[in-house]
Amino acid sequence: MSEDIRLPELTISTLSKKSTITVVAGKARALELKNPDFVRADIGEVTAPGLFPPGYREYLKQASEDVLKEGRIGYTVPDGDPGLRKLIFKHSIPDELRSLILEQVKDAREKMQNFVAVTHGGAGALGNAVTCFFDGPKKLVVVNQRTWQNHNLIVDMHGGMLWPVPLINEKGEVADPDTILKLCRPVKNQISSILYTEINNPDGAAITEPAEQAKLEAIIRALDVPLIHDVAYHEMSFDGKKVVQFSPDIIRKMVVCGTYSKTIQIPGERLGYLASADERVVRYVYFYNRSHSGCPSVTPQRALAAHLAKFDTAPGEIAAYRKALMSDLEARRNVLVSKLREELGWKMSAPKGAIYAAVPVPSDIVKQFKDIDNLSVELVDKGGVSTVSGTDFEFRVRKTATGYECVTPPASDPEMNYLRFCFGFTPLDRVALAVSNMKKFIQARG
């Protein structure tokens, strides 16, 4: 292939980014077609229960017919259908944000759509949010050092950089505020925002204790920058516990980025939203979407509106669906944790929510494969299970001759020795099968 085009170093750097999830997913797609006992635990399996919430499937068909009848199969409103935005405001955004807006903004009930914009999935919302606050040299985004890989990619692709800190561990314990602020002090004037995930990917960490929430809020106040709140797994907590809500002063400077991929199990529809009490931040989405990813098509927007309308017309059906879905997710989590302990003797903290677990792998086992990346790839090739190694979710800051850079530790680093296992889209019996496959794989290696 011709390479006559001269690419900038920044572009070449992006193209060379290391990602085991790309390798694993590519192999898994081919192997799952050949082997019925192959389990997709990297992103889950589309056969999982819970796909399509009440009303969505039926209205998806009707919406398609309506779109064809009306001839509207082209452009959509850049920031989403106004009717859908009202429904998102009423039924999707965090309760504390909705309450604050209704209490403090004049005529808020008449202009609910002004506080919400539809985005191309959660990633589209995050792209909007981070760039909204970039200002000259202020392009650093503070984030937990264990986080979703796309947080790094989104910030990096928009010309910013993550500033990862050990903010919260898998048990939902927040670090000492003074420790975090000390780590941020050298670049405080370059920090544009703090990005925090309500329930963390990859380990399901969540703050369910007020004392831990108080520490997080102390850090946010001291940094004095907007909070970008990633709520991809909103209200998906387990064991009867709820995530602690933010205080009003934090909410006023908060931008919420949500998605329906996990909360109502429609990942392929790419439906997300951005919400804020500041109408200017929401209006920014109009221009960002026009110049970037656009907005989801008319059809899924209408299907989502039909589902959200059921909160008013059939609340019992919605409540039953939600209860069944969360019960099923919690059961899958419990099976994963118990089977790993029983069959492999591996101990792990049970995720507090969401759809993923960070499965710690004993160091002596990792050494048999040289490092965690090789173990992950061999598990796909020979073990009948696809998971993602810890290197895809760990970020650190490294000082350079000219400043700082965000890097991923080497795969041989003991802190990388875990596998992210997706139980959220993986049926109960397949979760158990995955652990059985892993046991056979490890025993054969030993």
141 plus 223 within the same structural domain? yes
- For 216-264, the pLDDT digits (tens) are 999 999 999 999 999 999 999 999 999 999 999 999 999 999 999 889 8
31 plus 83 within the same structural domain? no
Q: How far apart are CA 300 and CA 228, in angstroms?
A: 26
114 plus 175 within the same structural domain? yes
Is residue 222, in this structure, part of any structural domain at all? yes
List the one residue out of 404, 352, 299, 317 whose CA is nearest residue 54: 317
357 plus 415 within the same structural domain? yes
Q: Residue 428, exposed/middle/buried by CB under 10 A (0-12, 13-18, 19+)? A: middle
- The pLDDT tens digits along the chain (446 residues) read 456 788 777 777 776 666 788 888 889 889 988 999 999 999 887 655 556 788 888 887 887 787 778 776 667 789 999 999 999 999 999 999 999 999 988 888 889 999 999 999 999 999 999 999 999 999 999 999 999 999 999 999 999 999 999 999 999 999 999 999 999 999 999 999 999 999 999 999 999 999 999 999 999 999 999 999 999 999 999 999 999 999 999 999 999 999 998 898 888 889 999 999 999 999 999 999 999 877 888 888 988 999 999 999 999 999 999 999 999 999 999 999 999 999 999 989 899 999 999 999 999 999 999 999 999 999 999 999 999 999 999 999 999 999 999 999 999 999 999 999 999 888 899 999 999 999 999 999 76
* Residue where a domain terminates, one of 230, 263, 296: 296
List the one residue out of 122, 123, 121, 175 whose CA is nearest residue 144: 175
Q: Which residue has the tokens 């001839």?
A: 71
110 plus 188 within the same structural domain? yes
* Residue where a domain terminates, one of 244, 263, 296: 296
145 plus 253 within the same structural domain? yes
Is residue 311, in this structure, part of any structural domain at all? no
| Boundaries of domain holding 25 | 17-51+318-445
114 plus 220 within the same structural domain? yes
Is residue 67, in this structure, part of any structural domain at all? no
292 plus 432 within the same structural domain? no
120 plus 167 within the same structural domain? yes
CATH code for position 397: 3.90.1150.10
Cα angle: 351, vertex 142, 287; to 5 degrees? 105
201 plus 88 within the same structural domain? yes
Is residue 437, in this structure, part of any structural domain at all? yes
Q: Which secondary structure element, helix H or strand E, spans residue 212, and what is its range?
A: helix 210-223
Is residue 43, in this structure, part of any structural domain at all? yes
Is residue 228, in this structure, part of any structural domain at all? yes
Q: How far apart are CA 130 and CA 193, in angstroms?
A: 7
Is residue 134, in this structure, part of any structural domain at all? yes
* Residue where a domain terminates, one of 263, 296, 329: 296
pTM: 0.94
Cα angle: 109, vertex 226, 256; to 5 degrees? 45
CATH code for position 264: 3.40.640.10
362 plus 218 within the same structural domain? no
Is residue 33, in this structure, part of any structural domain at all? yes
> How many domains are contained in the chain?
2
47 plus 82 within the same structural domain? no
Q: How far apart are CA 416 and CA 20, in angstroms?
A: 12
